[in-house]
């Protein structure tokens, strides 16, 4: 059965990319970004906790480098389109699949053939298997393959999921993401995370991109806005905390009145979430709201850092228990005052 358009990776829909903003710079080209999309044209909606799937395109520089290694023309016809289009939009150029090593083992000779054979069987004869993406494999094994066979040996490009960090009720027709940009160096080569750098650099405002909304299972706000909630980001990546932004972005009229707290295990997440639109609005000074039951999110804890990710979950858990204790004490105090 074909899913409704935009509700599954098998049936994505086109949304318009609106804008990007660097929230926090870290190192050269790394950092946390805020991205906006227009959903009005495609009519998609979402609720807190849902994720957004994006079909990104490969970097053209990398695509042309591979075409040059193959000794082919970028206009060569493959699957009814140009080689450049197919490599940019359809094929994964990240880790080289076993099928590519297998193909290369038939095309090379001598030591290179032995290496390609071993790699195709999941072995790592020279200890460099982890560094061999598609371009690296073609370079190391130095062989020009027929473009069509080469493309057939690759895997299909997969969409990337991102936790939605906006609220459909606050900004209908608009969707925001908070994304850490992935860039690293292997040997002398610069590697780019496919989707994060596509959003940070390659897509332009007004461009369309294939997307879908993936429903969250078992992650949603309670129906009753008075139900206390504790938001715990147990990992050390922004994806654990991005949904907090979505909760904080909800309009005031639908704001939660129950006692709420957000606990993160990452300093990076803390700054990203706190700089998210509307977060401060929900974090009034303690003097304004002395009761922990008065505002949406009046406590934001950071309990561990990337330096000790092994401690993150335990500390976030401990923090949650500590917060629950504080809530219980507060409730007892209020009950005594009312008696």
How distant, in Å, are the alpha carbons of 98, 118, 124, 184, 271 from that of 127?
16, 11, 5, 19, 38
Q: Judged by CB under 6 A, does residue 58 bind ligand FAD?
A: no
Nearest approach, Cβ of residue 289 and ligand FAD (Å): 29
Binding mask 146-175 for ligand FAD (x = CB under 6 A): --------------xxxx------------
Q: Does 129 bind ligand FAD (CB under 6 A)?
A: no
| Cβ atoms of residues 261 and 247 within 8 Å | no
Residues 229-248 that bind ligand FAD (CB under 6 A): 238-239, 242
* Residue number with CB closer to ligand FAD (141 or 242): 242
**Residue (120 or 194) nearer to ligand FAD, CB:** 194
Interface residue with ligand FAD, options 58, 145, 178, 278 (CB under 6 A): 178
Q: Which of 179, 231, 232, 273 binds ligand FAD (CB under 6 A)?
A: 179
**71 token code pair:** 């000794």
Q: Is 94 in the site for ligand FAD (CB under 6 A)?
A: yes
User: Can you read off the two tokens belonging to residue 62?
Assistant: 């990398």
Q: Are the C-beta atoms of 12 and 210 separated by less than 8 Å?
A: yes
71 within 8 A of 121, measured Cβ to Cβ: no
Given 23, 91, 195, 209, the residue binding ligand FAD (CB under 6 A): 195
CB distance 53 to 195 below 8 Å: no
Interaxial angle between packed helices 98-107 and 110-120, expressed in degrees from 0 to 180 and rounded to the nearest 10: 160
Residue 116 or residue 164: which is nearer to ligand FAD going by CB? 164
Closest approach, Cβ 270 to ligand FAD, in A, equals: 15
Residues 12/42, Cβ–Cβ less than 8 Å = no
The order of strands in the sheet holding 260-264 is 229-233, 260-264, 300-302
Q: Which one, 158 or 257, has the nearer CB to ligand FAD?
A: 158
CB of residue 238 to ligand FAD, shortest distance in Å: 5
Q: What are phi and psi for residue 285, nearest 5 degrees?
A: -60, 145
């Amino acid at each position: 059965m074909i899913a409704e358009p935009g509700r599954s990776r098998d049936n994505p829909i086109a949304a318009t990319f609106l804008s990007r903003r660097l929230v926090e710079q870290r190192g050269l080209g790394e950092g946390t970004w805020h991205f906006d999309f227009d959903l009005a044209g495609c009519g998609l909606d979402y609720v807190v906790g849902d994720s957004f799937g994006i079909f990104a395109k490969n970097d053209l520089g990398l695509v042309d480098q591979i075409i040059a290694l193959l000794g082919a023309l970028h206009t060569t016809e493959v699957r009814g389109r140009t080689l450049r289009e197919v490599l940019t939009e359809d094929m994964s150029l990240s880790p080289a699949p076993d099928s590519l090593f297998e193909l290369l083992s038939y095309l090379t000779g001598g030591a290179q053939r032995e290496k390609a054979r071993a790699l195709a069987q999941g072995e790592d004869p020279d200890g460099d298997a982890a560094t061999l993406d598609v371009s690296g494999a073609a370079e190391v094994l130095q062989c020009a393959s027929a473009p069509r066979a080469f493309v057939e040996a690759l895997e299909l490009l997969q969409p990337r999921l991102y936790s939605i960090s906006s609220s459909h009720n606050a900004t209908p027709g608009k969707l925001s993401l908070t994304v850490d940009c992935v860039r690293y160096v292997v040997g002398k080569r610069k590697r780019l995370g496919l989707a994060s750098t596509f959003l940070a650099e390659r897509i332009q405002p007004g461009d369309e991109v294939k997307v879908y909304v993936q429903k969250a299972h078992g992650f949603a706000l309670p129906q009753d806005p008075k139900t206390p909630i504790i938001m715990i980001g147990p990992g050390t990546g922004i994806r654990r905390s991005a949904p907090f932004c979505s909760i904080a972005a909800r309009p005031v009229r639908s704001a939660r009145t129950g006692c709420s707290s957000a606990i993160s295990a990452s300093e990076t997440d803390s700054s990203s979430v706190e700089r998210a639109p509307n977060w401060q609005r929900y974090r009034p000074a303690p003097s304004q709201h002395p009761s922990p039951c008065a505002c949406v999110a009046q406590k934001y804890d950071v309990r561990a850092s990337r330096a000790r990710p092994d401690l993150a979950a335990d500390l976030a858990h401990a923090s949650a228990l500590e917060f629950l204790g504080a809530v219980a004490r507060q409730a007892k105090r209020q009950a005594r005052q009312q008696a």
